[in-house]
Every structure is written in C-alpha cells, then in structure tokens.
Structure 1
Amino acid sequence: MTYTPRAVAGMLGIAPTTLRTWDQRYGLGPSVRTDGGHRRYEEADIEVLRRMVALTAQGVAASAAAVLARKQPVAPPSGLRTPIDSAEALTAQRGFLAAAKRLDEPAMADLAAKLLVAHGVVAAWDEVFVPALVELGELVAASGQGVEIEHLASGCVLHALRGIPRTSSPGPLSALLSCAPDEQHWLPLEALGAALSEQDRRWGNLGARVPAEALCDAVARLCPQVVLIWAHRQDLALRVPLEDLGTRSGAVIAVAGSGWDGVALPSFVHRPQSLAEAVGLVVDRQ
C-alpha cells in the first residue's frame, strides 16, 4: 500500500512543504513514483519519517536527525537491560510528549516499545512514562483541555506493557493485582504485572472497580502468594477489606498508591513505595 505526500503529511502532523524539503535536502523521499512522476510513500518510508519527526521534536538538528532516522534501531540481546541516564530519560520524555500532543499514536507506541526493550519496565516506567503522563494530567487539570491526548498516551503505554510476554512456566500464582472498589486508575497495576513477567512470575490482574466481596472470593479461589491493591484516593482505599483478606487467606497483603497516605494499616500489610520495591516483594516470596 502506498500513500500520497498530502496523506503522509497529515499522518505525521507536518506541512507538505516540510515533507518536500526533507526529500530535497536529505533524501527522505518516497520509494515509489508513478508512471506520471507522482511520489508515493510506502510504510518503510513513513517509518523513517516518523523517526525524523520525533528526533527534530527533541531538538536534534534536521541534518543530524536525517542520518539517525535512516538507521533502523537495533534492540539489545534478549534479557539485556541498560541503565537510562537523566539526559536520555529527559529526551525520551520530550519525544513522547511531542508525539502525544500531535496525537501520533504510532510514534508513541514505537518509542514506548523501544524503551521497554532497551531498559526494562521499571526504568521506562519510573523515568519516562510516569513523568510524561503526570505532565499531561497537569495540562488537562490546568486548561480543561487535552483529555484525548492523555487518554491516547495512556493507551500507548498500556499497549507496550502488554507486549511483554507472560511466563508459560507452571507454578503457583505469584501475585494477584486489584484496584480498590470504584478505583478506575489501573495502569500502574499493568506496569507491575509487566515487570513481574520480566522476572518470569505468574500474575493476574482483576482490573478496575473490584467490589470487596469479589476481591475476597478471587483470593480464596486463586490462592496467590501476594495480593496487592491499588488506590489513588483515601475514600477508595478505606473500602478495601484488609482485615478480611488477612484472616481469610495465607497470602502476603500489600497496598500501593497515594490513596493509602494517612490510612492506619494493619501490622501485617506491606506498603511498597516504588515499582521496584513492589516487584521485590513478590520475587522474594519464591
């Protein structure tokens, strides 16, 4: 399938004149020309241009960006993760935010997937995804606009996290993850699940708005080693039946999220303060 220059410019959120300039100056043109001499872009051409857009949005000079855009990113060997320094994290944040504000879903998805491959879930989540999503949330709160940007960005992060393969190894359920009753913010649970998949641990996620009785029933049926409940507001956290979970199951009970600030927790309840700490809590059980 091929695309006209106008269609490609619309897809990338740039002016047709910019597309023409990049073709003339840097050779980032179409692979196909019709018998009448009309330019037509293939998917591979568009992927190069997406990288060009992302790089220039990060402040890279156009001439240098053109060289980098032509280079197909190479993933590190499976299982190898490299640290992400502050400069690289800031560059990735800016690139992700720029793509989000353009509503460029493919660019966000591509960047998110590459971050996970190169640096792993914990580093990508802490250093890039959370700061970027927080900034978008603050933008919506301040202006009352941009909800579509925030939702699309969250969806791209979710899609990338779900691309981490789950373990096929048999064994007990390492962790059961759940939101508090009427809690709808469950993306952090998906991040924890993806990080556990990297550690070859089996996990389940009950998702958003889990009634107290349903949570207790699921714990009794699945017998997980760790149960972790997420809440971002205190009124939601207070509806979680922690005492019942503690007496009716042999699982380690943990809570996470800002909703637990100021809540008096039973002595048996753990409260990890970071994604890495939550992963360690589960991994240390085996």
Structure 2
Amino acid sequence: MSALTGNGEQGDGERVPPGGGLTTGEVARRLGVAPTTVRTWDRRYGLGPEDRTGGRHRRWTAGDVARLERMCALTATGLPPAEAARLARGEEPPPPTPERRAPARETAAGSRRPPARSRAGSGLRLGDVRQECKGIARAALRLDAAALDRLLLAAITDHGLVAAWTEVIVPTLQAVGRKWESSGERYVEVEHFLSWHVSGALRRTTPATVADRPGATTVLACVPGENHTLPLEVLSAALTERGVPVRMFGGALPVESLVAAVRRTGPAAVGLWAQSRTTASRPLAQHVAGMEWGVRGARRRPVVLTLGPGWAGQTVAGLARPAGLAEAVAALESVVAR
C-alpha cells in the first residue's frame, strides 16, 4: 500500500477513496503506465471503474484493473486502441461494411492501392511499417517497461537482429525523434527510455563476447564529441552473433585513447561512428588508417570504416562507408575473413 501524505492524499496528489479499491495513481503504477493514460482510456474508450466515490474520484476494483491489463496487452501487439478497448470490454468487433473501409488511393500510373498505415494511434507518424512498430511505439509512449522488453525481444527473435533493427526498431526511433522535434522538446524521455530498452534487449539476445583470434579483432568507437552509441551497440551485437571478436569503446573516445586502443589490440578493422557532421573528422580517420604495427617487413594497418550519417559529404579517400547495418556487417566479416 502506498504511503499517505498528511492530508489523506496519495503522494501523487490524488485523494484516496473511502471503502477500499485502488486510486488511478495506484492502478497506473501497477500497469506501468502514466495516470493520464488510464484517465484517457476511461474518458475516451469507456474503460473506467464501475464504482465511483462521487465527483470525479475513481475507485478501481480487481475486475476494472483486469480490463485495463487486457487493454495494455492488446495495444502492445499493435492493435488500434479503439479496437483493443472493444475487446477489453468483451465486445465483439463490428462486421466490416463498405462505409468502414478506407478508400484506395490513385497512384501516378492510375492503379489503385490501399492507403499507407500512417499512425500508431498515439500521434506518432510511422508510415507504412511492420505491425510490431506500432506496439513498440505505444509501449514506449506509455513508458511501459515490461511490454517494451517483451516486444523488442520478440522482434529480434522473430526477424533476426539485423532485420529487427532495420525494419522495426529504427523506424520507431525515427518516429519518436520526429515527435519530440515537433513538440517543443517534449517526449525526450520516451526516446531515452526506448533506446535504453533496445540496448538491454541486445545484451539479452547475443553472447557477451567472442574469444580473440590474432589479427581478427574489430575495434568500434564513437569519434570524439559523439555520444550516440546505440547504432554501434547493434553492430557490435551483430558481429558477436557471427563469431567476430569485437572491442567496443562506446561514446566520445578521445583521440589519444583511440590511438592507444588500436595499437594495443592490433585490429583487422576499425569502425568510427559519427552521428553528426560536426563530429566527423576526416583527419582522424586518415590518421587511424595510416597507423602501423608489427615487425619490420611485415607491418599491418587496419581497415577503417566510416560509419553513420555524420560522414555524409565527408568522404575519405580509400575508406569504406557502408550504407547501413547489413552492409557494415558484411564488410567487416569480409575483412576478418581475409
């Protein structure tokens, strides 16, 4: 039971209803969602408590909470909220009628096609994406940790790491990014929450490390000033999954530390990630590519890959710039195989 404040209210400011039952704040904490989400489901979809204490105070019974748990589970699969609410209330879905079908759109060639799926039912513009994106987006917006973990692990298991990242996780991250950019810096917590859980899912679905093989190690690091590590974490997980030894150094590695890491590991390849053009450094990439080690007459150099959108327009002669995760994995596997 949550502690009460001195004025007979919950810590979240909601008055405790007499006669037992749960307050909206307690229900929200139990479900792992925001109290505003619970109130919205009550107001918009009729999923409120059967008993009220007078005024607007709500008292939620076990049956009321069970309906909300059903609502959470259904929306987490990508089902539209209105349809999920009908099922949560135990209602049969209405039969399809011609009036309910969305009109087809004309293409440039005059052919007709169904309209693109453009929203997640939560204000996120996702476009024509896999169904899993919608469930993940809703779970992230609700800050529903349990549902988000379950959906991310299912996507990776069902599609494989590379396809799950490219076709499910990236479109959802991009939609969240567009949301906060257009909302006056709101929803930043959603992006951080989603990124953290993606990182956790990667660790749970891939081996921790691969034993070193001389001359086969890949070094991965963000360039100085760059802290966007998630794409490198995915690349590291994909390489580890394929048996490639990886040394991951994460965000904003100082120049002297990067040079020391390369000299100490003698890697076959080095991947340098830059999210922003302001952090991508052509001289740094060229310097790493020119480093040598080993005995005289048999010196070796690393193959350097410039990774991330920050390198757009910063092409470094002689260095590969893979277009995406699959291309980067293939390139690094090829280098290690040689």
TM bracket (short chain): 0.7 to 0.9
What amino acid maps onto 1:262 in structure 2? G
1:136 aligns with 2:176: yes
| Partner residue, 1:165 | 207
Aligned match of 2:305: 254
Is 1:177 equivalent to 2:220 in the alignment?
A: yes
Instruction: Pick from 69, 72, 76 the counterpart of residue 54 of structure 1.
Output: 76
Measured against aligned partners, the alpha-carbon deviations of 1:127-159 in whole angstroms (never above 9, x if no partner) come to 011111111111111112111111111111111
Equivalent residues in 2 for 1:16-165, closer than 5 Å: 18=47, 39=62, 50-55=72-77, 57-58=79-80, 61-62=83-84, 89-144=129-184, 145-163=186-204, 164-165=206-207
The residue type equivalent to 1:206 in the other structure is F
Would you say the 8 A contact 1:181–1:209 is kept in 2? yes
Q: Which residue of 1 aligns with 2:246?
A: 203
Q: Which 5+ residue runs of structure 2 have no aligned equivalent?
A: 1-20, 51-60, 91-115, 118-127, 293-300
Alignment-mate amino acid for residue 14 of structure 1: V
Q: Which runs of 5+ in 1 are unaligned?
A: 22-37, 68-85
Do the aligned residues in 2 keep the contact of 1:56 with 1:65 (CA within 8 Å)? no
> CA 1:128 to 1:194, structure 2 compared with 1: closer, same or farther past 3 Å?
same
Could you report, residue by residue, the CA deviation over 1:51-82 in whole angstroms, capped at 9, with x for unpaired residues?
A: 23413644684476899xxxxxxxxxxxxxxx
Deviation of the 1:235 alpha carbon: 2.4
Match of residue 78 from structure 1: none
Query: Would the aligned equivalents of 1:178 and 1:207 in 2 still touch at CA under 8 Å?
Result: yes
SS at match of 1:143: coil
Per the TM alignment, residue 251 of structure 1 is displaced from its structure 2 partner at its CA by 1.4
Contact kept in structure 1, 2:282 and 2:314, CA below 8 Å = no
SS of 2:256 mapped into structure 1: helix
- What CA deviation, in whole Å up to 9, does each residue of 1:21-68 have, x standing for no partner? 9xxxxxxxxxxxxxxxx8499xxx99876423413644684476899x
Q: Is the 8 A contact 2:70 2:88 kept in 1?
A: no
Determine if contact 1:228/1:255 at 8 Å carries over to the other structure: yes
Counterpart for residue 277 of structure 1: 327
Is the contact made by 2:223 and 2:279 (CA closer than 8 Å) also made in structure 1? Answer: yes
Structure (1/2) with the larger helix percentage: 1
Contact preservation (8 Å) 1:58, 1:91: no
What displacement does 1:233 show? 1.8
Q: Does 1:241 align with 2:263?
A: no
The aligned counterpart of 2:264 is 221
TM-score (norm 2): 0.64
Task: Return the TM-score normalized by structure 1.
Answer: 0.75
Q: Report if aligned partners of 1:167, 1:201 keep a CA contact under 8 Å in 2.
A: no
Partner letter of residue 264 of structure 2?
R
- Asked whether 1:232 is paired with 2:275, we answer yes
Tell me the residue number matched to 2:125.
none
For 2:220 and 2:80, how far apart are their aligned partners in 1?
A: 36
1:35 corresponds to:
none
Number of residues of Structure 1 aligned to a counterpart in Structure 2: 248
Q: Which has the larger radius of gyration?
A: 2
- The alpha carbon displacement at 1:89 in A equals 4.9
More contact order relative to length (CA 8 Å, sep ≥ 6): 1
Q: Deviations over 1:78-121 (max 9, x none)?
A: xxxxxxxx999521111111111111122111111111112111
